[in-house]
Chain A
Amino acid sequence: MKRIVNISLVLMLMQFTAFAQFNKYCNYTQVAVEKYGEKNLELAQQYIDSAFLVCPELANDAYSYHVKGFIYYELFKTKEISDFNSKYREIALTSFVKSNTLDTKEEFKKNNLLSIRNIAKSYQKNCVELLKDKKVELAQEFNKKFSSVIKMTNPDEDLSKWEVSFNNSIGDIYWDLFQEDTKVNEQLFDKAIYQYEQVLKLDSLDHHAVYTIGVIYYNRGFQYILDLSDDADLLEVLDAQEKQVEYGLKSLPYLKKAYSLKPKNRETINGLSAIYYMLQEKEKHQFYQNLLNQLVDEPEQD
């Protein structure tokens, strides 16, 4: 059946191509709309593509691009919703954008922008999926797409909350991967810190980023000791301890800040207690231990 439809479409196209040379009016767009209405997306696609092929005047027609955008967007949703590199989505996007450029009377602008926004959100969903699979670089690529597309609909769009969560998630993934194999994934330690620092540039009071940087430095610190061979000589032990303290002192201001942001957050208090223990400041360690004990009967703060 599909083949018959294709053959007849080609025959029609041949006739129409000859006809179009003598006629300014090109109704392929309208047929495409009808097919779209009938949910026959394949035919709708063939008609709208043919329209642009055989009717050169449509190159400047905001309506036809608007229709093309909708047809391709529907094709994306029905056929390639799980395909991160869907061509349908890309064509839909460029069609809506082109329609807007040509739409001097702003007849289609509102709907075009709504659709562009939906396409942006689909890129954003891809980001989340990629983060779930820990495919960080691809997620970052799609985040760039999301950001640039959503800003087509509103150049002043505030993405800071999203960027904070996005960067925090990437930081978490890098840190997670680093911990899986600290030697092989050595470079991910700095990358994790970088992501959280990016968060703090957007929101210097983000507890997750502040706290996690503190804990990461702390973990790095004690790991120097735990990684030592049992037979290490004193010089090696002292060097490792030097590193431990260096990272401990890096951690401390972040954990203090995290504490000032959420004074009743148990993880933070636990972190401060631990860092002072590591830094051999037993009284301060005890102070935070006591604080932790006092919070036992209180509801947990997030």
Chain B
Amino acid sequence: MSRILSILSILMLLSPLAWSQAVGAEAANLKLKSMFLYNFIKNVDWPEDRKKGDFVVGIVGDKELYQQMNSTYAGKLINEQKLVFEYFEAVSLASSVHILYVSPEKSKDIAANAKKLRDSKTLVVSDKDGLLQDGAMINFVIANNKLAFEISKTNADKAKLIIGPSLTKMATAVI
């Protein structure tokens, strides 16, 4: 009996138990965030003067997110503007982008660059608690184990950006 049991144990070892666990969650969370950002792009209205040329998405401090978005969405058209992705090491290096995602590690620079970003009508998306106060228009939050977002309509108004109702309806808070 024990010999047969050990044969079965070998069978069990041959089965695909060594799932690449962390990889699955990382890939899913990365895709999730990129899909949120893509939906932000689709559901925000920029002023007329920003509806020309390429539509530039800047990503600060998160290379994986940049690679994910660049490989998935680069070249797609948003109201006849071609999507282009750029990676920056610091918020201060980003200019003339339509939307700027700032990773938690780089978010301390948002406040210092808020006016410049507002003037260039850039939708700033942050990823850390309390950053709507620093000038971000959309901030990622975690609610009930889920990625969610809050909106500062006030900050968006200042940059002449109109955040669509499908986003405001689904935000955890709109201030």
Give chain A's interface residues, CB within 8 Å of chain B: 121, 124-125, 128, 131-132, 161-162, 165-166, 168-169, 172-173, 175-176, 179, 208, 212, 215, 218-219, 221-223, 225-226, 228, 230-235, 237-238, 241-242, 244-245, 248-249, 267, 270-271, 273-275, 277-281
Contacts and interface: CB of A to CB of B under 8 A. Distances in A.
B128 to A, nearest CB: 11
B146 interface: yes
13 contacts: A124-B1, A179-B16, A218-B21, A218-B24, A221-B28, A222-B27, A225-B31, A226-B31, A234-B43, A238-B170, A241-B32, A244-B28, A280-B146
Contact of B21 (A238, A241, A270): A270
B31 A172 contact: no
Nearest to A272: B21
Given A237-B36, A244-B28, A274-B25, A169 B4 contact: no
B12 A169 contact: yes
Interface size class of B (residues with CB under 8 A): 35 or more
Interface of B: 1, 4-5, 7-9, 11-12, 15-19, 21-22, 24-29, 31-32, 35-36, 38-39, 42-43, 72-73, 142, 144-147, 166-167, 170
A169 B11 contact: yes
Secondary structure at chain A's binding surface: helix, strand, loop or mixed? helix
Contact of A274 (B5, B8, B24): B24
Contacts of B38: 230-231
Contacts of B22: 270, 273-274, 277
B30 to A, nearest CB: 9
